[in-house]
Amino acid sequence: MTRQRVVMRGRVAILACAAFAAAVLSAGCTTTTVSRPQTADSEANTPPKVADAGKRARARMELASAYFAQGQPDTALDEVKLALEADPKSADAYNLSGLIYASLGDPVQADASFRRSLELNPQSGGTLHNYGWFQCQQGRYAEAQASFTRALAVPQYRDTPRTMLVQGVCYARSGNLVEAEQILNRAFEIEPGNPAVAVNLAEVLYRRGQYERARFYIKRVNSQPDQSTAQTLWLGVRIENRAGNRAQMADLANQLRNRFPQSREAAALDRGQFDE
Give the pLDDT confidence of 164-217 residue by residue, as tens digits.
Answer: 999 999 999 999 999 999 999 999 999 999 999 999 999 999 999 999 999 999
Alpha carbon distance 113, 124 (integer Å): 14
Q: What is the 3-state secondary structure (H, E, C) of 22-37?
A: CCCCECCCCCCCCCCC
DSSP letter (8 states) at residue 13:
B
Q: Which of 55-64, 125-134, 142-151, 172-181 has the lowest mean pLDDT?
A: 55-64
Beta bridge partners of 7: none
Q: Is the pTM of this model over 0.85?
A: no
Domains for the chain: give ranges and CATH numbers.
Answer: 11-28+157-276 (1.25.40.10)
* pLDDT single digits (tens) 73-117: 999 999 999 999 999 999 999 999 999 999 999 999 999 999 999
Q: Are 3 and 33 in contact (CB under 8 A)?
A: yes
* pLDDT single digits (tens) 117-134: 999 999 999 999 999 999
Q: Are 203 and 24 in contact (CB under 8 A)?
A: yes
